[in-house]
Amino acid sequence: MAAVRAGALARAALERVRDLEEFALPQRCPGCGAPAAPERLLCDGCWERIPVLSFAVCARCLARGAEPVGCGRHVDSRVWPALVYDERAALLVHALKYGQRPALAAALGERLARAVPVRPAPDLVTAVPLHAARRRERGYNQAWLLAQAAADHLGAPALEGVLARVRATPAQARLDPARRRRNLAGAFRATEPRRVRGRRIVIVDDVLTTGATLEACLDALTAAGAHPVGAVLAWAQ
């Protein structure tokens, strides 16, 4: 159900983002119509109304339909979401992802970094990779933009290409959790295991829905000998 709701929010957000083209200067917030800075999209009031999260979610439990909050068994499957994926968060994510608004990554990455309680600073920050075909189509990987911005605030280096997506996967939106896990099995691998072995790594994505993508990425890093934790901008509960 979370994936269905996330899809509905995504479609609504995309329509609202497209409507931005019709706004005259100064830019108006698509959430409420108040003036808003272009690099933040939403006004300060709408930003502050997005519910903030302060706990970890277990990607492995979430991907299997089990209770994902409070899991103490799967240490290397923890994901820290910054925000609830509500209507306002959907506007931000989809402006960044589909609306050609990469400048939003600075403010979003700062908010994401606040949610990651990794102390001392991680050894490096990386991102869930896009398959090359999708990256060419979009022009950038929004998760990598978020990772770079978050790394600045975490005091850690950002490194792209830690994981490779070795095969394209069909769209996840209409698949049930079990089929999503099968769809992503073996889709990622560490490009240079020696570079990550023994290192504390934060891997970033934009939205957590079923947990299948981040579970696959965390598993690939763990298999390479790393100690990973996930971080996402928003959780579509």
51-87+105-235 under CATH 3.40.50, yes or no: yes
pLDDT of residue 171: 66
State the pLDDT confidence band at 23, using cuts at 50, 70 and 90.
Answer: very low
In angstroms, what CA-CA distances link 164 with 61, 115, 126, 132, 216? 24, 25, 11, 10, 12
State the pLDDT confidence band at 82, using cuts at 50, 70 and 90.
Answer: very high
Does 1 have pLDDT greater than 70?
A: no
Report domain extents, the chain: 51-87+105-235
Average pLDDT, the chain: 88
CB 83 within 8 A of CB 233: yes
Share of the chain above pLDDT 70, in %: 86
SS3 content of the chain, % helix, strand, coil (to 5): 45, 20, 40
State the pLDDT confidence band at 138, using cuts at 50, 70 and 90.
Answer: confident
Least confidently predicted of 11-20, 24-33, 53-62, 191-200: 11-20
pLDDT of residue 24: 44
Does 41 have pLDDT greater than 70?
A: yes
pLDDT of residue 218: 96
Digit-coded pLDDT (tens) for 112-133: 999 999 889 999 999 999 878 7
Does 15 have pLDDT greater than 80?
A: no
> Which among 119, 128, 129, 127 is positioned nearest to 155, based on CA atoms?
119
H/E segment holding residue 14: helix 2-19
The C-alpha atoms of residue 109 and residue 233 are separated, in whole angstroms, by: 8
Q: What is the mean pLDDT of residues 40-55?
A: 95
pLDDT of residue 72: 87
> What global pTM score does this model have?
0.86
Does 73 have pLDDT greater than 80?
A: yes
Amino acid at 181: R
Least confidently predicted of 39-53, 61-75, 159-173: 159-173
The C-alpha atoms of residue 82 and residue 97 are separated, in whole angstroms, by: 17
Digit-coded pLDDT (tens) for 58-72: 999 999 889 999 998
Residue 38: partners with Cβ closer than 8 Å, 6 or more residues away:
27, 103
Does 3 have pLDDT greater than 70?
A: no
Q: What is the mean pLDDT of residues 179-193?
A: 85
Residue 162: partners with Cβ closer than 8 Å, 6 or more residues away:
124, 126, 190, 191, 195, 196, 201, 203, 221
